[in-house]
Amino acid sequence: MILPIYVYGQPVLRKVAEDITPDYPNLKELIENMFETMVHADGVGLAAPQIGLPIRVVTITLDPLSEEYPEFKDFNKAYINPHILEVGGEEVNMEEGCLSLPGIHETVKRGD
C-alpha cells in the first residue's frame, strides 16, 4: 500500500524517533509498504517519520543507481533501530534530495 509522505513542516519530522521492539505490530507489512511508497515516489530512502511514525525504521534501495554503479543492483535493505555510532573515512560531496522536501536537491558532505 502506498502511504502518504509527510513534508517539511510536519511536527513528526522534528521529533527524535524511538527504538522499537521485535514484536512491533505489523512490522513486516510496514516495511513492505515503506518500500512500495519509496519506489513509487522515485526515492532511494524512506524513514518511518516521513510516513508519520516516530520510530526508527528506514528503507533503502540503491537499485536506481545500478546503471552507474553495477554493484548496487538489487540493493534493498530495511534497518530497524539504526544508530550512527561513528563517522569516518574520506569526506565526499554528493547531490541528494529528500522525499519530505520535494523538488529540492543540494550537495551534502558525508563520510564515505
110 inside domain:
no
Which pLDDT belongs to residue 89?
A: 82
In a domain, 27, yes or no: yes
Q: Which of 44, 48, 52, 42 is nearest to 11 (CA)?
A: 52
The domain tally of the chain equals 1
C-alpha cell at 12: 513528526
Question: For residue 81, what are the domain limits?
Answer: 11-87
Write the CATH number for 63.
Answer: 3.90.45.10
Residue 109 belongs to a domain:
no
What does the alpha-carbon distance between residue 79 and residue 60 come to, in Å, rounded to a whole number?
A: 8
pTM of the predicted model over 0.85: yes
pLDDT in tens, 2-34: 999 999 999 999 999 999 998 999 999 999 999
pLDDT digits (tens, 9 = 90+) for 93-106: 989 999 999 999 99
Answer yes or no: is 70 within a domain.
yes
- Whether 1 is covered by a domain: the verdict is no
